[in-house]
């Protein structure tokens, strides 16, 4: 069954608004696990506008589920993840000032760059996933970088879903089939929600893990965190 990893960046955004420690990131992460999340995802950015590097260090020893750290492989990011040693690192290509991840890797032009980094991370015992769009050429080339998994960038699916869901899913099914044929594990994330998640999983049930932040934390304002996590997990059944 597809695992749910809760991205807690938005919780850190609320905390940072006041400068104190409310809400407490570590407590929220533990509660997400207690309510059924099978993983916790964070995306520390260089300006630390939501998750801070210290949050990542604080979270590692207290988490009991899978810890996934996303980010651009800058020197600082790589030092952080190699010292923290999460279960999984997801490499994203976005420049330091990006509002949010908005594209997958060009694995053809970045093949040598990615290969060197991924080899290093795998030596440190960390599984590596790379963020990718649905272009099968990028997926085929991802194999040559040594990545264990690819994470499909689902924003285009989420926006097209509202107009024509059959059209929205088509390129994602092709990409997912390509990843499976290539022997790559499969993750998915970005703009997934209670509106579009079930349809994605119905058509691509071999997705290993979805990481969901913005919509899930927003839904928690209405339903509470426990019920929200239960609702998302119901979509994955």
Q: Where on the chain is the footprint of ligand PXP (CB under 6 A)?
A: 7, 9, 43, 70, 90, 92, 100-101, 131, 151, 189-192, 211-215
Return the DSSP state at 2. Answer: P
Task: Classify residue 17 as exposed, middle or buried by CB count within 10 Å of its CB (0-12, 13-18, 19+).
Answer: exposed
Q: How far is the CB of 129 from ligand PXP (least distance, A)?
A: 9
State the minimum distance, in angstroms, from the CB of residue 61 to ligand PXP: 23
CB of 168 to ligand PXP, least distance (A): 16
Residue 79 among the catalytic residues: no
Q: Which is nearer to ligand PXP, 178 or 216 (CB)?
A: 216
* Number of Cα atoms under 13 Å in the Cβ half of residue 37: 31
Q: Please say if 166 is a catalytic residue.
A: no
Q: Is the separation of the CB atoms in 70 and 50 below 8 Å?
A: no
- Kindly name the residue from 33, 43, 50, 160 that is annotated as catalytic: 43
Of 2 and 101, nearer to ligand PXP (C-beta) is 101
Q: Give the side-chain half-sphere CA count within 13 A for 64.
A: 9
> Would you call 43 a catalytic residue per the annotation?
yes
Q: Among 23, 89, 30, 26, which residue's Cα sits nearest to residue 64?
A: 30
DSSP string across 71-139: E---HHHHHHHHHH--SEEEE----TT-SS------TTTTHHHHHHHHHHHHHTT-EEEEEE-S-HHHH
Catalytic position from the list 33, 66, 70, 209: 70
For ligand PXP, which is the closer residue by CB, 20 or 99? 99
Shortest distance in whole angstroms from residue 153 CB to ligand PXP: 7
Nearer to ligand PXP, 30 or 43 (CB): 43
With b for 16 or more beta-carbon neighbours within 10 A and e for fewer, the 91-124 pattern comes to: bbbbeeeeeebeebbbbeebbeebeebbeebeee
Residue 198 CB, shortest distance to ligand PXP, in Å, is 15
CA 74/CA 70 separation, integer angstroms = 12
**33 vs 209, which CB is nearer to ligand PXP?**
209
Active site residues: 43, 70, 190
């Amino acid at each position: 069954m597809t695992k749910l990893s809760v991205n807690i960046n938005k919780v850190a955004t609320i905390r940072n608004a006041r400068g104190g420690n409310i809400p407490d990131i570590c407590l929220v992460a533990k509660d997400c696990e207690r309510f059924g999340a099978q993983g916790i995802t964070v995306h520390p950015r260089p300006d630390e506008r939501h998750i801070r590097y210290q949050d990542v260090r604080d979270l590692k020893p207290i988490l009991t589920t899978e810890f996934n750290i996303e980010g651009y492989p800058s020197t600082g990011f790589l030092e952080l993840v190699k010292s923290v040693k999460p279960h999984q690192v997801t490499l994203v290509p976005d420049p330091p000032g990006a509002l949010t991840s908005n594209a997958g890797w060009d694995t053809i032009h970045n093949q040598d760059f990615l290969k060197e980094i991924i080899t290093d991370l795998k030596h440190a015992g960390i599984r590596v996933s790379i963020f990718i769009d649905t272009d099968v050429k990028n997926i085929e080339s991802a194999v040559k970088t040594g990545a264990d998994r690819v994470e499909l960038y689902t924003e285009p699916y989420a926006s097209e879903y509202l107009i024509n869901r059959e059209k929205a899913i088509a390129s994602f099914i092709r990409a997912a089939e390509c990843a499976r044929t290539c022997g790559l594990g499969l993750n998915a994330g970005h703009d997934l929600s209670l509106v579009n998640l079930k349809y994605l999983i119905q058509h691509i049930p071999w997705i290993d893990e979805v990481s969901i932040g913005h919509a899930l934390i927003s839904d928690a304002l209405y339903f509470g965190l426990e019920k929200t996590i239960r609702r998302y997990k119901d979509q994955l059944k």
